[in-house]
Structure 1
């Protein structure tokens, strides 16, 4: 039996996105490519298809192993696809780079910046603009 599943349902079932609506929004925004082509949420997915999915956790290059419209446990969801070795390496490098990147966080995080905070922000921006 050759059955297929909507792309947004599969991404939700495989736990790439928390809801189908966020999966659809990501597809519409161009964060999901099916077989090197930009996809639409209702596009039918088959076993063996290649996906490139960009999420908050990074960019995944995967091949579809199993189809499902039902969201199950994370262990089952991981068996629905296989991520390429290059993709895993790239995500690990990107994660490490994000952790090493300098961050400026204001303790209050809201409202107008104080004079001291503005000076720190200005120094931070100057330091990063000359370092690139």
Structure 2
């Protein structure tokens, strides 16, 4: 052991810088898939991102990935959100969650546009306080949603 005091000995240890510019951007290498999806705001929480990975809703370069899979710059990430699929190409690897303007710069969005609101089937809207729907009302609502067969005439 050296004859230096412990405080000086600790200060000589080498610390590897994790980020550049304080934005959470990684200098080299990659980051976990769930962390990247969360940090660029494709998922609200990190646990939601990990759950999506485990459920097979996240694909990197066409392969289903686990939450610990490494994502690098240039990878194509596909995320299934409900009935919509987000397709993004990684520009920058982020380790920390960042603001929306910075997050948008971290990937190229190749997703198809969402369907217009008019294309969504109208749901049966009932007046408030009218009570429970009758059997006829339920059948009409199912027909509007496209769930029920047409009535026999």
Tell me the TM-score normalized by structure 2.
0.68
Corresponding residue of 2:123: 103
Corresponding residue of 2:70: 44
Trace 1:93-132 onto structure 2 (pairs within 5 A).
Answer: 95-96=115-116, 99-106=119-126, 113-115=132-134, 118-126=135-143, 128=146, 129-130=149-150
Corresponding residue of 2:105: 79
| Bigger fraction of residues in helix | 1
1:37 CA drift (Å): 0.6
Q: What is the RMSD computed on CA atoms of the aligned residues? A: 2.5
Q: Which runs of 5+ in 1 are unaligned?
A: none
Q: Which runs of 5+ in 2 are unaligned?
A: 1-26
Give the number of aligned pairs.
Answer: 120
2:107 and 2:83 map into 1 onto residues whose CA distance is 16
Trace 1:54-69 onto structure 2 (pairs within 5 A).
Answer: 54-56=80-82, 58-69=84-95
Whose Rg is larger?
2
Distance 1:98 1:32, change over 3 A: farther
1:113 and 1:23 map into 2 onto residues whose CA distance is 38
Corresponding residue of 2:33: 7
Distance 1:105 1:46, change over 3 A: same
Corresponding residue of 2:113: 91
Residue 86 of structure 2 aligns to a residue whose secondary structure is strand
2:83 and 2:103 map into 1 onto residues whose CA distance is 16
Residue 97 of structure 2 aligns to a residue whose secondary structure is coil
Out of 18, 23, 35, which is 2:49 matched to? 23
1:106 CA drift (Å): 4.9
